[in-house]
Structure 1
Amino acid sequence: MPTITACTMDCGDCCSLVVDEAKRSVRGNPAHPFTKGFCCRKGTRYFDRLDADDRITTPLIKENGAFREASWDEALDLVAARLDAARVRPETILHVRGHGYRGILAAASPIFFKKLGASTTYGSVCDDTGITASIRDFGVLHHNDPEDILNASRIINWGRDLTRCSIHQLQLVHKARKRGAEVLTISPGGDGTPEFSDVNIIIRPGTDRFLAAAVLKLYLEAGDLNPWVLNRCANWPALRGLIDGCALADLTRMCEVPTADVEMLYDWYADTGNVATIIGWGLQRHLYGGENVRFINALAMISGNVGVSGGGTYFNVSSARNLGSWEHLMVDAPAEQRRFLVQDLGAELRRADPPVEFIWVDGHNVVNQVPDCLAVADAFRKPFVVCVDGFFHDTALTADVILPPALMFEREDVLGSFLHNYVQYCAKAANPPGQCRADFDILIDLGSRLAEPVTMPDPEACLEESLGQGGFSLEELRTNGFIKARHPYVAFEGMRFGHPDGLYRFPESLTPEPARDPDYPLQLLTVVRGKTLHSQIAEKDQRGIPRVWVSKRNPAWAPLNPAQDVYLVTPQGAMQVQVDVDETLHPRAVVMRRGGWMKMGHNANVIIKPMVTDMGDGTAYYSQHCRLENR
C-alpha cells in the first residue's frame, strides 16, 4: 500500500512523495499543489540508497584500527561511558550537526547536547551569507509565493542552476515562458541554463555586485527613479553617493561583462511589466557573497520590482518559520556554549583549550564537506568520535563508534520548506534494515544510560508542541500529508519592510575584487550535482579520476598535453583530474562537481583554503584560485 510522505533532504522543493515499499518506488504526490506529481532523480532513486550493499546496518566499534560489529547495548554503553567521563568538563564535548536530514524530530541532537552543555559549531557551509544579506535589506527573510513568478513579464535568473536543483521552480519558469515571459540568465556558465533562457550573460565568478552596480549606474544616468520607491528606503543617499563615485567602465571591467550586455540588462529591468529575480545560492559562496546578494536586491528595489505581483527577489525563506520549537521541554534556560567555526574546524580543534575529548557527528559528513578537510580528519584522531551514519564516508572512517540510523522514509518527522509555504508530513513508509534505528530513539536510549540520565520527551509531544506553536494540528497533518501556512502572496506589498521603521536598507559599500594571483589565475567552482545531493554518492560512482570542466578559451587549455597527467593545483595542494570541455563556461572558471569523497581521491575540499564570507559566517568555497598543469 503506497504511503504519502515527504523528502527530508537538504532541498527547498521539500517534495510530498508517494512511496511504495513493496515496489521500491518513489514518485511525486499528484495531490500536492507544489510537487504536482513529479520529483527529481535524487528522490526517485532514493531506494538505491536505502538498499545499497555497502549500507551500515549494525553498530560498529573500532578496535586496532578496524571496525567490528557490536550490539546496541555494547556500543551505547561504551559511548555513555566516554560521554560521562567528558561531562566533568562539558565544553570538551563537541556536537557537530548538518542538514543531511531536516525536521522537528531531527532537532533532537542539538537539544540533547545543549542540555549537556556541550560545545557546538557556528558558521555556514550553505546559505547563511545570502540569508544575512537579505535580512539586512528587507528586515525579514521573505519572498513572493513561488507561483507568483507566473505573473512576471520577465524573469532574471541570477545564478541559480535550476537544471540540478529546485526542479519545481524550473517547471514554473517553463510555464511562465509558455505564457509569454522571457528569461535572462546571468552566471559563469556550465549550468545548462541556455535550455530555458532567451538570453545568457556570462560573468566573472563572484563579481555579481559590480554588474548590478553597473545597471544601477545606468538608472542614475537616465534619471529613471521612482520617488515613491526612494521614499521607502532609509539610506538612498548613501547608495547614490556610492554609485556616483564609480565609473561604468570600471564596473564592467570588474565583472567582465560587455557594456552592451549591461545596457541590455538595464532594459530588461526598466521596460514596462514586472521582473522577478531568482538569486542563485552559488554567488554567495565568494568572499563578498553578501554584497553580491545585496546589490542584486538593490537593483530589484530601485527598478520598482519589490512588493509587486510578478516581481520580487527569490533567495530563500526559513524552513522552520512555520514551526515552533520543543527545546523548552528539555532545556530550562539557554546555556552559553563554546563554539567552533565549522569551515576552519581543523585549526579550531588544534587551538582548543581545553581540548575536545568527545565528538558526536550526525546529519553531516563534516570531514568531507568543509575546506582543508585533511586537517579536520587529523584533528578527529585524538578525541573519541561517534558518527551516526549509514555509510563509510570520510567522517565515518574517523569514528571510534558508528551508529546506523534509519534514513528518510524509515522514520517519522514533520518539516517545512525554504522555498514554498507547505508544512509536510514525513510518514514512515519503509522498515529500516538490520538494526538501524531512528536518531531520536538512539538519543532516548543513550540518555537513559548516562550516570546522570538525560530524559528525552516523547516524540509525539515534540511534534504536537512544535506544530501547535505554528497553529497546526498533527492529526490533520497525518491525515492530509501537508498543510499550507498562511503568508502574504506578495512579499512587502505596499513597500512595508521588516525593519522597525518599515524602510528598506541599501548596501553602503562596494568592495573591490581581489586581484588575480598570476601563479593561480583560474577560479575553482565546486558546484551542485544533478543525480546526488552533496556527498551522498555511492563509492562505485567515484571510481577513476575526477573530472573538471573548462572552456577552450581558458588560458590553461592550450598548454595542456592530453598525453600526460593533469593536476588541479592550489596553494593548499594538488589533485589529479581529467579535463573536459564546456564552451559555455567563463574563460577563467574551472568547474568540478561537489561532494566527492576524500578516500576516493574525488574531494576538492582537500585543496580549498578555509575562507569566511563578508557576512553570515559563510564559506567562500568559490574564491579559491587555482591552476591546471601537467606533471
Structure 2
Amino acid sequence: MTIVTACTMDCGDACSLIVDSEKKTVRGNPNHPFTKGFCCKKGSRYFERLEAEDRIVTPLIREDGIFREASWDEALGLVAARLDAARAVPESILHIHGHGYRGILAKASSVFFNRLGASAYSGSVCDDTGITASERDFGVLHHNDPEDILNADRVINWGRDMTRCSIHQLALIQKARKKGTEVLTVSPGGDGTPEFSDVNVVIRPGTDRFLAAAVLKLYLEAGDLNPWVLNRTANWPALRGLIDGLKFTDLCAACEVPASDVEMLYDWYADTGRVATVIGWGLQRHVFGGENVRFINALAMVSGNIGIAGGGAYFNISSGRNLGSWDHLVKGGKQSATRREFWIGDLAGELEKADPTVDFIWVDGHNVVNQVPDCLAVAQAFARPFVVVVDGFMNDTAMQADVILPPAMMFEREDVLGSFVHNCVNHCAPAVSPPGRCRPDFDIVSDLGRRLADPVVLPDAETCVREGLKKGDISYGELVDMGFVKVNHPQVAFENMRFGHPDGLYRFPEDLHPEPGRDPDYPLQLLTLVSGKYLHTQIPASQQRGVPVVWVSKRNPAWGALDPARDAYLVTPIGAMQVKVETAEDLHPRAVIVRRGGWMKYGHVANVVIQPRKTDMAGGIAYYSQPCRLENR
C-alpha cells in the first residue's frame, strides 16, 4: 500500500514522499512542485532507521545507574510527580526542543512548557544569525521562488554545498547550467561544489564579508552604481563612507583571495545579465557570521540584482510563515510572556550558575548534549537535575536521562510542516504503525498534561492542525487528499525595490569588524561540516567504528609535520580527540574539516573540543571560529 506523506527532518527541501508500507520503500512524490519525484538517500533509507535493532521501543527508567523497561503509566506517573514538585518554582524546569522533529503538532511540548512557565533556551545551533542578518537588511525574511533561479544568467554560490544539503536546489542549478547559466562558487573548499560550478574561489573561512567589501570597493572605484537602487536604501552614505576608508589590498589580504579573483567576482556581478546569489548555511557559524551575510546581501543589492527575476539573495524563508499557532486553545496553566532563558551555546556554564537551580529538564527533538560546544561538560551538567528525554536511540543525550520516552517517528505519526526553501505546506501522513510501545510526541505531551495535579489540557490533534492551517487559508481536506498545498507568494521578492522595513527602504551594514588574529599555538581552523550520508546525529553505531577522519590540504602546515606511523590528535584549548588525517584537494591551507554528527560515546564528535563562542547576532554559536592544531602523541 502506498501513502503520500512527507519528510519532517531538519532539511529545507521538506520533501513530499511516496511510501510503500509493504515493500518498505521511499521515493519522492512526482506531483510535488519542488520534490519532483526524487529524494535524498537520507530519506530513501529511512526504514533502516525505523527498523534499527537498537531503537528504543518502550519507556525506560534509570534505577541504580541502569535502565529498565517500564509501562507508559509508570513512566508518565513518575514524570508527572517530579514535574508537579518542580512547578513550585517554574524557573527550575528547563525545556529544550530542537528541529529534529518539525511541524504543527511538533510544537506541543513548547506550548505545554510555556504554560508551565518553564525556562527555555535562547540562541541557535543553526541559522538564526543569518536570519537576523537578512531581516536587518530586507526588513523581512523572504527570497525569490526557488524556480526563479532558472531565469538567472549567472549564479554566485556563496558557500552552499548542495551535494550534501539540498539536492533539489542542486537539480535546479544543474538544469540552469544546461540552459547556459554559469556558476561561480566561493568557499574554503574541500566540498562538493566543483561538481556544479564553472569556477571555484577559495577563501579563508569566516572572512566572506571582506571579499564582498572588496568587490564593493571595485564598484565605487568604477563608479558603476545605479542611482535608482541606491535611492531605495536608507543608509547608502554610511556604507559608502565605510568602503571609501578601506584599502582594496587590505580587504584581499583579510580574506586571502588574490586580487585577480576579486576582480573576476566583480566582473561576474557587473556584467550585463541577471545574477542570483545563494548564501550558504555555514557562513553564519563564525564570530562575525551575521556580518558575513549582510555584506553579501549588500553586494547583491548594489549590483542591482535584488527585486528582479533571475536575481535575488537566497538565504532562508521561515518554515512556519504559512502556519499559525494553536496555543490559545490550551486549557490550564498560564501563557508566559517572559521566561528565563539559558544561552544554548554555553549550556553547561549556564546551568552551573543558574539561580534558582534547574531541577527538571525535558528534551525532545534535539540531541543537545551532543550538538552544543563543550559537550562533555554539558553531559556532566545533566547529572544533577531529573532529566526526561524523548528519543528512540541511546544517543549522548538519552544516556544522561532518568526517563526515556520512545516517540513514534517519521512515517509513523501525523503532522503538517512547511519549508525554509520553498512555499509548499506538506502533510506527513502515518504510513506504518509505530513499533512496540512508541507513541507520537503529541500524545505523550497530552497524556502528561492530564496527569498533572493542576492539569494542562491540549486540544485533540486534528483541532490543532486545522487551527494551524487557518493562517495560510489552507484546506485540511485538500491537504490530506493531495499530500501538500502550495501557498502563493510573489515569485520575485521585493519587486520594485519595496522592502519590509516601515519606510520600505533597504538597510546596509555600517560596520566591518576585523577577523580575530590567529593563535600561534592553534594556527588552524576547525570546520564541522554537514554530512552527505546522514542528517546531523542520526548516524548508526555501525558507521562510527574506529577513529574519526579529518581532512586537510596538502599545503596545510600540519600535513608535512605529522608522522603517519604515530597517532594523530585534533587539539584545541579545551581538549583533544584522536583522528585520522586525510587530504582534500583545493581546501584552504589553514582549514581542518570534520563531518558533523558523530557521537561522543564513540569518540566521533568534535564538539567535545569546541569552545562556547557567540556569533554577532541572535546568540548563534560560532562553531567554525574554533582554532585548533594537529599533532602526534
Which TM bucket (shorter chain)? over 0.9
Taking the aligned partners of 1:485 and 1:584, their CA distance within structure 2 comes to 41
Partner of residue 182, structure 2: 182
Per-residue displacement from partner, 1:145-164 (whole Å, max 9, x unpaired)? 00000000000000001000
1:343 to partner: Cα distance: 1.0
Taking the aligned partners of 1:394 and 1:67, their CA distance within structure 2 comes to 15
Taking the aligned partners of 1:244 and 1:453, their CA distance within structure 2 comes to 63
> What SS is found at the alignment partner of 2:155?
strand
1:192 to partner: Cα distance: 1.1
Partner of residue 620, structure 2: 618
Residue type of the alignment partner of 1:472: I
Taking the TM superposition and a 5 Å limit, the aligned residue runs for 1:552-591 are: 552-591=554-593
> What SS is found at the alignment partner of 2:442?
helix
Partner of residue 213, structure 1: 213
Per-residue displacement from partner, 1:486-530 (whole Å, max 9, x unpaired)? 110000000000000000000000000011001000000000000
Partner of residue 527, structure 1: 529
1:334 to partner: Cα distance: 3.7
Taking the aligned partners of 1:456 and 1:328, their CA distance within structure 2 comes to 10
> What SS is found at the alignment partner of 1:121?
strand
Residue type of the alignment partner of 1:426: C
Matched, 1:65 2:51: no
Per-residue displacement from partner, 1:123-162 (whole Å, max 9, x unpaired)? 0000000000000000000000000000000000000010
Matched, 1:608 2:601: no
Partner of residue 165, structure 1: 165
- Residue 593 of structure 1: which of 592, 595, 600 is its match? 595
Residue type of the alignment partner of 1:362: D
Partner of residue 278, structure 1: 278
Residue type of the alignment partner of 2:416: V
> What SS is found at the alignment partner of 2:558?
coil
Taking the aligned partners of 2:191 and 2:102, their CA distance within structure 1 comes to 27
Taking the aligned partners of 1:245 and 1:581, their CA distance within structure 2 comes to 40
Partner of residue 243, structure 1: 243
Partner of residue 325, structure 2: 325
**Segment drifting more, 449-458 vs 425-434:** 449-458
* 2:117–2:334 CA contact under 8 A, matched in 1: no
Matched, 1:110 2:141: no
> What SS is found at the alignment partner of 1:557?
helix
Residue type of the alignment partner of 2:369: V
Residue type of the alignment partner of 1:400: D
Taking the aligned partners of 1:181 and 1:447, their CA distance within structure 2 comes to 55
Taking the aligned partners of 1:278 and 1:453, their CA distance within structure 2 comes to 48
Residue type of the alignment partner of 2:293: V
Taking the aligned partners of 1:97 and 1:186, their CA distance within structure 2 comes to 33
Per-residue displacement from partner, 1:343-364 (whole Å, max 9, x unpaired)? 1100000000110000000000
Taking the aligned partners of 2:385 and 2:226, their CA distance within structure 1 comes to 60
* 2:150–2:175 CA contact under 8 A, matched in 1: yes
1:332 to partner: Cα distance: 5.9
Residue type of the alignment partner of 1:418: F
> What SS is found at the alignment partner of 1:556?
helix
1:335 to partner: Cα distance: 3.0
Matched, 1:398 2:400: yes
Partner of residue 453, structure 2: 451
Residue type of the alignment partner of 2:170: L
Per-residue displacement from partner, 1:417-460 (whole Å, max 9, x unpaired)? 00000010110111100000000111111111111111111111
Matched, 1:498 2:500: yes
> RMSD over aligned Cα, in angstroms?
0.7
Partner of residue 441, structure 1: 443
Taking the aligned partners of 2:474 and 2:30, their CA distance within structure 1 comes to 23
Partner of residue 415, structure 1: 417
Per-residue displacement from partner, 1:387-443 (whole Å, max 9, x unpaired)? 000000000000000000000010000000000000101101111000000001111
Residue type of the alignment partner of 2:448: L
For structure 2, the 5+ residue unaligned runs are none
- Residue 376 of structure 1: which of 356, 375, 378 is its match? 378
Identity, in percent, stands at 74
Partner of residue 126, structure 1: 126
Taking the aligned partners of 1:469 and 1:488, their CA distance within structure 2 comes to 17
> What SS is found at the alignment partner of 2:254?
helix
* 2:146–2:421 CA contact under 8 A, matched in 1: yes
Partner of residue 97, structure 1: 97
For structure 1, the 5+ residue unaligned runs are none
> What SS is found at the alignment partner of 2:528?
strand
Taking the aligned partners of 1:48 and 1:526, their CA distance within structure 2 comes to 25
Taking the aligned partners of 2:336 and 2:115, their CA distance within structure 1 comes to 9
Residue type of the alignment partner of 1:124: S
1:469 to partner: Cα distance: 2.1
1:333 to partner: Cα distance: 4.3
- Residue 475 of structure 1: which of 461, 470, 477 is its match? 477
> What SS is found at the alignment partner of 1:164?
helix
Residue type of the alignment partner of 2:458: M
Matched pairs, number = 631
